[in-house]
Amino acid sequence: MIRRIPQARDRGIPDATVARLPLYLRALNGMAERGTATVSSEDLALAAGVNSAKLRKDLSHLGSYGTRGVGYDVQYLIYQISRELGLTQDWAVAIVGVGNLGRALANYGGFASRGFRIAGLLDADPHVVGDRIAGLVVEHADELESVIKKRGVSIVVIATPATSAQQVCDRVIAAGVTSILNFAPVVLAVPDGVDVRKVDLSIELQILAFHEQRKANGGPIMAEEWPDGVVM
């Protein structure tokens, strides 16, 4: 039986931890702006909305960056988390599908400030191609492969209708992209080695509705039957 010997800086950081690091980073940036020099796990955990033991365990996966009796140096921790997440370099992102959502994303300033530079906007609709949005001109979807290669795009955001998403996905993967953020409500099929993250707003609302219903009724109405009262 093979047992992994845990090391000081174990390379395998749990997914759950990776997903929280950006949260810590955001809280730390706020503190840095307010001039805070050091912070305890307790306070940082509070600001990030997690439990302090979890925070300490998460940070311990990156290394031993705290000082007992004192806490963590805010600037140093910002740097370490940023480095771990790969935010010390900047990333070229292309947005495919410049409709309602694609436009909102393109106009959003919060990406650039985190090192995500929008390097291309692409759409299949000739009425949209040529529009200038947030300083960029929308290019035709036919240019997808060439834009990806010329501008070193490594992350693609898919904001097309569901029907085109898989096709766009296949093309960007063929062009060498291995990180995709998908807003279309479809399950994308991708080969191993490609990471897809999805954001589905309608799923979030459905989860809220589930809990809301429980709060109101203590559960769904009409347990086992069809609306007309006939059990199948």
Partner DNA sequence: GTGCCTTTGTGAAGCAATGCACAAAGTCGA
Partner DNA sequence: TCGACTTTGTGCATTGCTTCACAAAGGCAC
Chain residues binding ligand NAD by CB under 6 A are: 96-102, 104-105, 108, 110, 122-125, 128, 141, 159-162, 164, 167-168, 183-185, 201-202
* Burial of residue 211, with CB atoms counted within 10 A of its CB: 0-12 exposed, 13-18 middle, 19 or more buried: exposed
User: Residue 193, annotated ligand binder?
Assistant: no
Q: Which is nearer to ligand NAD, 12 or 110 (CB)?
A: 110
Which contiguous run of DSSP H or E holds residue 17? Answer: helix 15-33
42 binds DNA (CB under 7 A): yes
Crossing angle of the two packed helices 15-33 and 74-85, in degrees rounded to 10 = 140
Bridge partner residues of 121 (DSSP): 95
Taking the complex as a whole, how short is the minimal distance between the CB of residue 114 and a copy of itself, in angstroms?
5
Rg of the chain over Cα atoms, rounded to whole angstroms, equals: 22
16 binds DNA (CB under 7 A): yes
> Which of the stretches 62-70, 84-92, 172-180, 189-197 binds DNA when contact is defined by CB under 7 A?
62-70
Strand order in the sheet with 66-67: 38-39, 71-73, 66-67
54 binds, among a copy of itself, ligand NAD, DNA, none (CB under 5 to 8 A by kind): DNA
Are 96 and 156 spatial neighbours (Cβ–Cβ below 8 Å)? yes
Touching a copy of itself, residues 98-157 (CB under 8 A): 100-101, 103-105, 107-108, 110-111, 114-116, 154-155
Angle at 204 between CA 199 and CA 207, to 5 degrees: 145
Taking the complex as a whole, how short is the minimal distance between the CB of residue 44 and DNA, in angstroms?
7
Taking the complex as a whole, how short is the minimal distance between the CB of residue 177 and ligand NAD, in angstroms?
14
Supply 148's token pair: 């990806």
Annotated binding site for NAD(+): 97-102
